[in-house]
């Protein structure tokens, strides 16, 4: 298994070198519509974990990938990724990113916080210590930093992940009294990730919150409401995620309240209205 420095070099070499020609360009000012210009997306759904498996992520990823393709995105779908595939998928996406006007990552699966850094967990991870989590996972903050070096367009990062350590099983009692498996061990939450300029980062739950895995439904509660709103014509992304937040909070009795950090510098919507506008 490759050590952490090697994985960092992979991402740094891919995004850092590819982004250099863009460093002198001005920040994008015009509105960015999801159906205008080059749009790429990497969609990952990890559920087949050795420890604490999850039911929804593969289906969530498939549905989100289908919705994005319908909106004109060039989508790469990866399911139940092992470490090498997860790292390679992020690296390949980073190489393509500078040529796209809109760059989106959707990740469903386990995510953990270690020493203030957030990690996406591959299905073959089997850490015994926190240091092993860092070596066996992908640093999402570093990936976001590399995308932010591209000074044009928009970066959208959506994480429907548990925001705690998944390597010990756990349940919570939902608003209806059911015992619900959540994506992690204790409701400790991920570290806050501030979005760099030109980027929006959306979490399926607030800091120190939990993201529920819908054992009795086709999709997680977060993915279900995201899918219900993505194709709304002219809906600005900030309003989209506000709708998702309200719906998820209502459905879970505020057990799960989504959260976003945004530093977008232009209006953005996944689909323009019938007059080509983005601003509902």
CA-CA distance, 265 to 144, in Å (whole number)?
16
Kindly state the tokens that stand for 146. Answer: 């590399």
Whole-number pLDDT of residue 11 = 43
Q: C-alpha angle 122/125/129, rounded to 5°?
A: 130
CA-CA distance, 275 to 280, in Å (whole number)?
12
CA-CA distance, 120 to 141, in Å (whole number)?
10
Nearest CA to 141 among 84, 194, 95, 101? 194
CA-CA distance, 16 to 35, in Å (whole number)?
27
> What Rg do the C-alpha atoms of the chain give, in angstroms?
18
Q: Where are the domains of the chain?
A: 4-269
- Helix or strand (DSSP H, E) at 39: strand 39-45
CA-CA distance, 232 to 94, in Å (whole number)?
28
**CATH code assigned to 4-269:** 3.40.50.1460
Whole-number pLDDT of residue 268 = 93
Handedness of CA 62, 103, 222, 69 (dihedral sign): negative
φ, ψ for residue 38, nearest 5 deg = -75, 130
Whole-number pLDDT of residue 161 = 86
φ, ψ for residue 265, nearest 5 deg = -110, 5
Question: Splitting the chain (280 residues) into consecutive groups of 10 residues, what average pLDDT does each group show?
Answer: 42 39 32 62 94 89 98 97 97 95 96 84 86 90 94 94 56 44 46 88 80 75 96 95 96 90 93 83
């Amino acid at each position: 298994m490759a050590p952490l420095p090697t994985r960092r070099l992979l991402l740094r070499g891919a995004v850092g070198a590819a982004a250099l020609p863009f460093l002198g360009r001005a920040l994008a000012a015009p509105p960015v519509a999801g159906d205008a210009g080059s749009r790429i997306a990497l969609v990952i759904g990890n559920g087949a974990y050795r420890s604490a498996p999850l039911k929804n992520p593969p289906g969530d990823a498939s549905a989100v990938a289908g919705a994005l393709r319908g909106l004109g995105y060039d989508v790469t779908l990866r399911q139940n990724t092992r470490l090498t595939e997860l790292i390679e998928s992020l690296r390949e996406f980073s190489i393509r990113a500078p040529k796209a006007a809109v760059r989106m990552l959707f990740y469903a699966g386990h995510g953990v916080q270690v020493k203030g850094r957030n990690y996406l967990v591959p299905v073959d991870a089997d850490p015994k210590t926190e240091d092993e989590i860092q070596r066996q996972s992908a640093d999402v903050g570093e990936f976001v930093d590399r995308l932010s070096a591209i000074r044009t367009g928009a970066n959208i990062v959506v994480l429907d992940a548990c925001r705690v350590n998944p390597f010990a099983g756990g349940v919570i009692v939902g608003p209806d009294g059911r015992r619900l498996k959540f994506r992690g061990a204790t409701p400790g939450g991920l570290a806050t990730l501030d979005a760099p300029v030109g980027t929006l980062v959306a979490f399926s739950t607030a800091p120190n919150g939990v993201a529920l895995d819908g054992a009795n439904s086709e999709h997680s509660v977060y993915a279900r409401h995201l899918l219900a709103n993505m194709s709304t014509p002219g809906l600005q992304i900030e309003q989209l995620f506000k709708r998702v937040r309200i719906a998820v909070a209502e459905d879970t009795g505020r057990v799960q309240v989504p959260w976003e950090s945004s530093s977008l510098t232009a209006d953005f919507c996944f689909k323009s209205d019938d007059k080509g506008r983005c601003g509902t």
